[in-house]
Chain A
């Protein structure tokens, strides 16, 4: 059962209980097989859990696609320090709305995964960092944590295993950048949510200066299923390099927007035209952003691709969070790019100069073009600013802001030119009037 729509081609593992209010409670979750994986994991021991996750080939669902088992194996052993597991529930990437569904429909799935992950990396404390706006999911997860403690699944001696593991829900206060893992750590520590320079990497010096691992909600929600059914079981879906299923969150001009759990490698065109029922109002497709607003845009003729990490990259974009934003033929690309850039300007933490200044500058130029006061030279300037913003900052927010600008100018130059030519004022503007 995906929510609010479902489709026969789905493989519903994570999303099996979306739309099922009874699955929220501990009782309901246990009736659906919940916490069996935690019990099994505690019996297997941390190293076997990491091995199983490695075997599954599970890759981080937060956007970067880093292998989860390998990430866990970076954590030091027997170093005598407290370790932390942070669950990134700061879902804020425009286009992404999958973690919210996981949190509000299946809180115990998230908690169970978090406890298994925490156990595997020998954590003393798991923090779920949830974005502040998610008050409703936060209430649900907060309540579920209380249930988990009451049942002895969290806290001292969990499930009689002798393992102590605390779990705390921490809610943010409105900052997209806190989804970046080091900014998230700073925010958790009560600082401004600014990304940190790496190295040191979180596994060495993370939250509160201690070894730390950060996993996305979707990643950690997958873990109980892998532990319960085995790594090989998980590999029956997806591709060799991108195994398993993934929540594809589709928004924009499709008939049936929603979350669809499909094997990685699922065809994007099929996703849009079959699973989501095609374009609304009988319109035709203009563009698709396949992985959330931070990734390069694809034109309508570029969408016959497999949605896995490698194939989307080969097509010149990124799978990211598999947040597919669909734009029909009426879409004003310049306006939407401007809106995305304004978002990045608003959300730039402000520490690195190229990002702090560049995002706002891009937005100003795009607004001017939209007003019909642009010149063709502005397009070159936009591209150059974007190039200067790429690869020159601590985190990739800067690159993310530049990506849709560059890809849209490359693929939809005509739309920019149409706005530029609407008004015959370019000479005056160029002269600085």
Chain B
């Protein structure tokens, strides 16, 4: 539809609420606009609709039979009722059919608490079962990769089959057999292990039929805290939820963003969260004392001493700073400003790269990108230059006597002597490796999962994330530490919040000018550059 063409809209009434929707809107979507949720299983907004679960049957005035809301387009002036006696009876009836052979093993089912069968049955199912016969039993099947299939729990909505065909582009699942003997299966011993996208079928399974081996019996859904975030594991910037229990990340789940990842995320990103749970963290600021030993101290003392030392070298020594693509724009941005305040210097970062992108066939905007860190594009926009190889190793050459500041890079590949001949070595990080032990200041950082901030994805989209975990010990976000240091150098006032720190970026870096957390909103906002997306990634025009 051209931009000048007027979009035709129609009006319909759903449960007494009048809504105006574009022509072609399906009843189930129009109902959502009217604030009416229509129960459904087989319908998923990211997939084709087969209208086979029969849960979304609604009464449309003038139609003799109940109508599936997932495939029927609303007509102008239509009056739709989802709560009529007829519609409710049909739903209760359909729910009973779902439950007769269901094992009712909610106490040992991972889906309990976020199960649509449980939810709808509680809402409007029959009070008592009246199925006196022997239940049909299917066993458990290992689909390969991270996926287990519990046949008896399956409600045959075929979302998984359609996902694999339509989105993953790999017709690896099918309905085998027919009638009430139908099950979902792979081709005999072929599994899903080769698929980059199979993990999504666990998310879209409305019941506990498809479950994650990784999450198996690990936590109850109702015990989880869910925090919106951005996947840090490549530069795609998939919108995710970090799901935690007792301050431990249990799993990552995709969160809808039609501009970035639709409803999906890749398995590469999904399964790389254990590092967020590492316990061997730096928990207090360490400052090298007169005897040359690193000694734990308070933040006040550490920052005071840091400002003193920085003031001493300001404008006198070359500065060499290493940023991190796993840290926020705010963190790296304030590092860049600090370098500038010290008289300017070299800004580098190292980041792992995969050889190939893995594009999602059914939603080509989404790919596991080559850059295996979230904020490569952000670092580039802030003036950092990539160095090192594709495994994020090597490439660091610190001039003798330089002021060396490392943020977030664990320096795992560097020798024990790294930074030994620097004039001043400040290390901000979460792990204390051998190379970092040479630092004069070791300052404990939060990971992205423990702080608020933004990442800039491959196409220059700035997206927000929120703290999902409590930081260990005295760990603080880098923007806060560096902000205080900059204030100490009397450059800018210390930012009071991540939002403040972000606004300071806008003042200093053209790419971020005019952006704020409000403007970023739920779908992200593009940097101030025109961006062209190509198959090979983003290209700045």
Query: Once the chains are docked, how many angstroms separate the CA of A384 from the CA of B90?
Result: 11
Asked if B132 is at the interface (CB within 8 A of a chain A CB), the reply is yes
How far, in whole Å, are A346 and B181 apart by their CA atoms in the complex?
A: 9
Q: Give A429 to B53 CA distance when docked, in angstroms.
A: 31
* Alpha-carbon distance A288/B55, docked complex (angstroms): 36
- The answer on a CB contact under 8 Å between A356 and B179 is yes
A405-433 interface code vs B (CB 8 A; 1 in, 0 out): 00000000000000000000000011010
Q: Is the CB of A356 within 8 A of B156?
A: yes
Picked from B66, B71, B97, the residue with its CB within 8 Å of the CB of A353 is B97
Answer whether A351 and B52 are a contact pair too, CB < 8 Å, given A192-B178, A197-B68, A360-B180: yes
A317-355 to B contact mask, C-beta < 8 Å, 1/0: 000000000000000000000000000011111111110
Query: When chains A and B are docked, how far (Å) is the Cα of A359 from the Cα of B101?
Result: 13
6 further A-B pairs in the complex, CB-CB below 8 A; given A349-B179, A350-B178, A364-B133: A345-B179, A357-B101, A361-B100, A368-B132, A388-B90, A394-B51
**Once the chains bind, are A361 and B50 in contact (CB under 8 Å)?**
no
A148 at the interface (CB under 8 A from B): no
Residues of B within 8 A of A (CB): 50-55, 57, 65-66, 68, 71, 89-90, 93-94, 96-98, 100-101, 130-134, 136, 155-156, 158, 175, 177-182
How far is it, in angstroms, between the C-alpha of A140 and the C-alpha of B181 when the chains are bound? 35
In angstroms, Cα B136 to Cα A359, docked, is 13
- Contact present for B94 and A356 (CB under 8 Å): no
Question: Of all chain A residues, which has the CB nearest B95?
Answer: A353
A358 touches B178 (CB 8 A): no
Q: Contact check, B175 vs A350: say whether CB atoms are below 8 A apart.
A: yes
CA distance A346 to B98 in the complex (A): 18
B54 near A197 with CB under 8 A, answer no
**Could you say which residues of chain A place their CB within 8 Å of the CB of B68?**
197
- Which of B52, B177, B179, B181 gathers the greatest number of chain A CB atoms within 10 Å? B179
Contact: B132 with A432, CB < 8 Å? yes
Q: What's the minimum C-beta distance from A192 to chain B, rounded to whole angstroms? A: 7
A21 to chain B, nearest CB (A): 38
A429 x B97 contact (CB < 8 A): no
Is the pair B131, A388 in contact by a Cβ cutoff of 8 Å?
no
Chain B residues with CB below 8 A from A358, complex form: 97
Q: Is the CB of B156 within 8 A of A353?
A: yes
Q: Which residue of A lies closest to B92 (CB)?
A: A388
B100 touches A354 (CB 8 A): no
* Cβ A197 vs Cβ B131 within 8 A: no
Q: Which of B90, B93, B96, B179 touches A350 (beta carbons < 8 Å)?
A: B179
- Establish whether residues A354 and B52, one from each chain, have CB atoms under 8 Å apart when the complex forms: no
In-complex Cβ contact of B180 among A175, A197, A350, A381 (8 A): A350
Are A361 and B132 in contact (CB-based, < 8 A)? no
What is the interface size of chain A, counting residues whose CB is below 8 A from a CB of the partner? 33
Q: Taking CB as reference atom, which chain B residue is nearest A195?
A: B52
- Would you give the shortest CB distance from B413 to chain A, in whole angstroms? 54
CB of B99, distance to nearest CB on chain A (Å): 9
Docked CA distance A384–B178 (Å): 24
* Bound Cα distance from A351 to B156, whole angstroms: 7
CB distance from A175 to the nearest CB of B (A): 7
A353 with B132: CB separation less than 8 A = no
A175 to B339, CA, bound (A): 75
Q: Are A357 and B98 in contact (CB under 8 A)?
A: yes
Contact between A353 and B178 (Cβ–Cβ < 8 Å)?
no
A11 to chain B minimum Cβ distance, whole angstroms, is 36
The residue that B179 contacts in the complex, of A348, A381, A391, with Cβ under 8 A, is A348
Q: How far is the CA of A345 from the CA of B133 in the complex (A)?
A: 15
- A86 CB to closest chain B CB (Å) equals 21
CB within 8 Å for A388 and B133 given contacts A192-B178, A350-B175, A359-B179: no
Nearest A-chain residue to B102, judged by Cβ? A357
The listed residue (B55, B65, B98, B158) touching A391 by CB distance below 8 A is: B65
Question: Complex Cα distance A361/B179, Å?
Answer: 12
Please give, as numbers and ranges, the residues of chain A lying within 8 Å of B96 by CB-CB distance. 388
Tell me the bound Cα distance from A387 to B90 in angstroms. 9
- A274 CA to B382 CA in the complex, in Å? 97
Residues of the B chain whose Cβ atoms lie less than 8 Å from the Cβ of A387: 93
CA distance A365 to B100 in the complex (A): 13
Pairs A-B, 3 closest by C-beta atoms: A388-B93, A357-B97, A351-B52
Question: B180 contacts A357, CB within 8 Å?
Answer: yes
Q: In the complex, are the beta carbons of B179 and A360 less than 8 A apart?
A: yes
Q: Pick 13 A–B contacts, CB within 8 A, sort by A.
A: A197-B71, A347-B179, A348-B178, A349-B179, A350-B177, A350-B180, A352-B54, A353-B54, A354-B93, A359-B179, A360-B180, A388-B93, A392-B90
Contact present for A392 and B93 (CB under 8 Å):
yes
Residues of B within 8 A of A346 (CB): 179
Cβ of A124 under 8 Å from chain B: no
A73, CB-defined interface residue at 8 Å: no
- B182-A392 in contact (CB<8A): no
**A346 (CB) vs chain B CBs: closest residue:** B179
B373 to chain A, nearest CB (A): 43
Please give, as numbers and ranges, the residues of chain B lying within 8 Å of A353 by CB-CB distance. Answer: 52-55, 94, 97-98, 155-156
Interface string of A381-393 (1 = CB under 8 A from B): 1001001100111
CB distance A354 to B97 under 8 Å?
yes
Which of B96, B130, B180: most chain A CB closer than 10 A? B180
- Who on chain B is nearest to A432 by CB? B132
Interface residue ranges of A234-256 to B (CB < 8 Å): none
The interface residues of chain B lying within 8 Å CB-to-CB of A365 are 132-133
Query: B50 touching A351 by the CB < 8 A rule?
Result: yes
